[in-house]
Each structure stands twice: as structure tokens, then as C-alpha cells.
Structure 1
Amino acid sequence: MITNRISKEQFQTTFFRITKDDLPLLQKKFWLFDWKKEIKTAERVVYKLTTRENPAVIQGLISCSDFGDHMFVNLVESASFNRGENRLYQGVAGNLFAIICQESFDKGYDGFIVFESKTKLVSHYRDLLGAQRLGNSVRMFVDTKAASQLIKNYL
């Protein structure tokens, strides 16, 4: 579920694997990352987050890889209108990470996901996701307990 920041109205979310039909919506001018390149990488899966009410509008994207005992998040990005202080919807990032936590559970990995954080976002991910830092690195992980909470909160 995501929440309109202004009206406080909540919207149920859905997620799907990105398809070739979505390519026109992934123009570089709308996204910080090159999602078309990400889709072409064989060992990566890209999911789009939409609302049930408006499935044609992508709220955010996430790319992951299956490492055999956990899921690794390669890239995650909210749509341009969902970034910064004036974002339209809250909860996009939480939903995106919850999707991968659910996939981790489905594969028998107990919800574990791993990702590399930008240094300035380490505390943000700790607060938002319950993620923990691996030593002093920017590599972070979400364990079973935190993954369960994300799924409960967002899916």
C-alpha cells in the first residue's frame, strides 16, 4: 500500500515483472538509472510497482538477482514524482523491498535480502527497512524478522 502525501488516501499496490511493452515508459529522462540495460542482463529480474487503480503508471522499479541462499537487490528507484520532499506517494521504497523479501521467502531463503547502500542512506534504510549493516561496509541485509515486518506493513 502507498499513501498520497497530500490527501493521505491509500492505494493498494501490485507488482509485475517488467516486460518489453514497458520499455517506452523507461526513458532515461524519467529515471536516474538505465533500466533498459538492467532488463537485458540475463541473471537479473526487474519488477515494477503500480497501484491497482492505475496499473499503467509505474511508481517504482527494483532489480534483483537470486544468489541461491538470498536475494540481492541490484537497483531500486522510485519514479521521479515519488522522490524528494515533494514526492506524491509515500511507501514506494518499502513496497519495493517487501516484494523482494516475499520472493526470498517463496524461494526458501527465509526473507533474507542483501544490497549495497549509498553511504548517506545507511541510516535511512536501517530506519525504513530494519536493515543491518555488514561491518563498516555499505553492504546491508534484511533478516527474517525485518522481512516479515516489511511484508506485513506493505504487502
Structure 2
Amino acid sequence: MKKQKDIGQTFIIDRLTNSIFNTISGDSFRTEVSILTKTDLKNITSKNGWNFDWKAELNDLKKEIYKLTIVNNPDIVQGLLSIQRETDHIFMNLLENAPFNIGNEKLY
């Protein structure tokens, strides 16, 4: 039997939850994942601090784009994920936190 190579990862998962935590108040908010729409893209631009071209991702018909939002607050996108389904796996193309959720001053 061939020995598998450990490829390791460079990220740390600090907790697994179905919610996000406000860094100021410590409150927890339930989240939901749904499909990103063209209407959502209005505020998801480099001008607003997003690093990737999510419009190009959404226009690529081979990819599925999902948004993370707080339950009952679907207009504020907390993060985005682009995946592509292959025959034997799912490839994650891009993953990005909203600009206000990055760094020492992050909100969630």
C-alpha cells in the first residue's frame, strides 16, 4: 500500500459553530449560506475593499458562488466562497472574508 503524503495546511480552525461572534460585544449570530446573486455584487467590489473579482467568478458558469450572511440580515455579506464540482472532488477556487472581518479591527 502506497504511503500518503501529508500536505498540511496553513490555517487554524479555532472553533466549529453555526454562528459568528461580534468582536466588540461577544454576541453570537446564527449564519446561513446561500447562492450569491448579481444583485449582491453591487457592494462587492475592490473599491469597497474586496480583494477578488467576484463578478468574474459569478460569470464563470463552471463555478458556484456562495455567500455567508447573518440570519435575518441577508443584505450584509460576511464572506464568499467559489467552488467548482469535479468528477471526484470539489475544488475551492476562492474564499474571502468581507473587508470588515479582516485584521485586528475585524467586526466578526
Measured after TM superposition, the shift of residue 6 of structure 1 is 1.5
Structure 1 gaps, min length 5: 90-155
Q: Secondary structure at the match of 1:43?
A: coil
Q: Which residue of 1 aligns with 2:72?
A: 53
Q: What percentage of residue pairs aligned between the two structures are identical?
A: 44
Q: Does 1:33 align with 2:33?
A: no
Structure 2 gaps, min length 5: 1-18
TM-score by length of 2: 0.78
CA RMSD in angstroms, aligned pairs only: 1.0
TM-score by length of 1: 0.55
Q: Which residue of 2 aligns with 1:71?
A: 90
Could you tell me which amino acid in structure 2 is paired with residue 79 of structure 1?
A
Tell me the alpha carbon deviations over residues 71-107 of structure 1, each in whole angstroms, 9 at most, x when there is no partner.
Answer: 1110010000000111110xxxxxxxxxxxxxxxxxx
Could you tell me which amino acid in structure 1 is paired with residue 29 of structure 2?
F
> Greater helix percent: which structure?
1
Q: Secondary structure at the match of 2:93?
A: strand
Aligned residues: 89
Segments of 4+ moved more than 2 angstroms: none
Supply the distance in 2 between the matched residues of 1:24 and 1:7 (Cα, whole angstroms).
Answer: 29
Supply the distance in 1 between the matched residues of 2:41 and 2:100 (Cα, whole angstroms).
Answer: 19
How does 1:43-122 map onto structure 2 within 5 Å?
43-89=62-108
Could you tell me which amino acid in structure 2 is paired with residue 77 of structure 1?
E
In 1, are the aligned partners of 2:35 and 2:67 still within 8 Å (CA)? Answer: yes
Bigger Rg, structure 1 or 2: 2
Q: Secondary structure at the match of 1:12?
A: strand
